[in-house]
Amino acid sequence: MDFLNGIDLPALFAEYAPKVAGALLTLIIGFWVAGAVTRGVRKLLAKNNVDATVAPFLGSLVNVALKVMVLLAVAQMFGIETTSFVAIFGALAFAIGMALQGSLGHFASGVLLLTFKPYKVGDLVDIGGGNVGTVKELQIFNTILATLDNKRIIVPNGVVTSNVMTNISGQGEIGVELSYGIGYGDDIDKARALILQVGKECPYILDEPAQGVVVGELGDSAVILNTRPFVKSEHYWDAYFYMQENVKKTFDKEGVSFPYPQMDVHNPK
């Protein structure tokens, strides 16, 4: 034990014992507070119906951040310079952030979507004015859509939050925009009555609000009749296809024409 010669153990103990005790006490209390705050955050997230996918992640993020702060405080109690550690952590975080800039942006967008819920699984949405489909899955980085023809569209969440997004199913009930052209020689009132008749027979169209038919446009070769029957969101396409087919059949049966552009070519002699 020659290396202990010349060391004043009582003085050394008297100097460092309070620091060690204080550090241990700080560590125990700090970790306990970190755990209590984390539990409080998780309860708050659950109370506000934050998605089960993002709530654990946010809770873990808060827990790790608080524990890192406690460890830095303990290191400082022993006289260790923590400024350099903070600088290293900051530089490391910056480098990682630059390398994963796109992914982090999609992740942040995913957290926003999971938190504010502009749509949910099962909703029919139009993202960016072209990606139309039913939401099958809302992930941290991507939103998965299924189109009517069963294609799988994977849309990065950053694209969702940076573009116009229409939740077609968002209100529970939705109007189905339909237009039908009839000839200028056809009876508008008769065509209107036939469209309303088909709408009344359609099993998906709601009684309220009542369906109406108006003259929307006097086109070059047709009078355009517009109608907007309301349906439950999940029956949008069912009603759309039912009306398209049965209005055509009814018009054919009742002698109402569907005009189309024609060109007369004369051969002068």
To the nearest whole number, what is the mean pLDDT of the chain?
A: 79
In a domain, 268, yes or no: no
Q: Does residue 68 register a pLDDT over 70? A: yes
Indicate the residue among 167, 188, 207 that finishes a domain. Answer: 167
In a domain, 30, yes or no: yes
- Quick one: pLDDT at residue 136? 85
For residue 156, the domain's CATH number is 2.30.30.60
> 206: buried, middle or exposed (CB in 10 Å: 19+, 13-18, 0-12)?
middle
Structure tokens at 34: 């970190």
- Quick one: pLDDT at residue 245? 95
Q: Which residue has the higher pLDDT, 214 or 121?
A: 214
In a domain, 266, yes or no: no
Could you tell me if 156 and 180 lie in one domain?
no
Total structural domains within the chain: 3
Most confident residue range from 31-35, 90-94, 96-100? 31-35
- Quick one: pLDDT at residue 67? 81
Average pLDDT of the segment spanning 233-262: 88
pTM of the model: 0.53
Indicate the residue among 148, 167, 186 that finishes a domain. Answer: 167
Helix spans in the chain (H): 9-47, 54-77, 83-99, 101-116, 157-161, 188-201, 236-254
Structure tokens at 11: 């003085």
Provide the residue range defining the domain that includes 128.
Answer: 118-167
Q: Are strands 124-127 and 213-218 parallel, antiparallel or unpaired?
A: unpaired
Could you tell me if 214 and 145 lie in one domain?
no
Average pLDDT of the segment spanning 224-233: 92
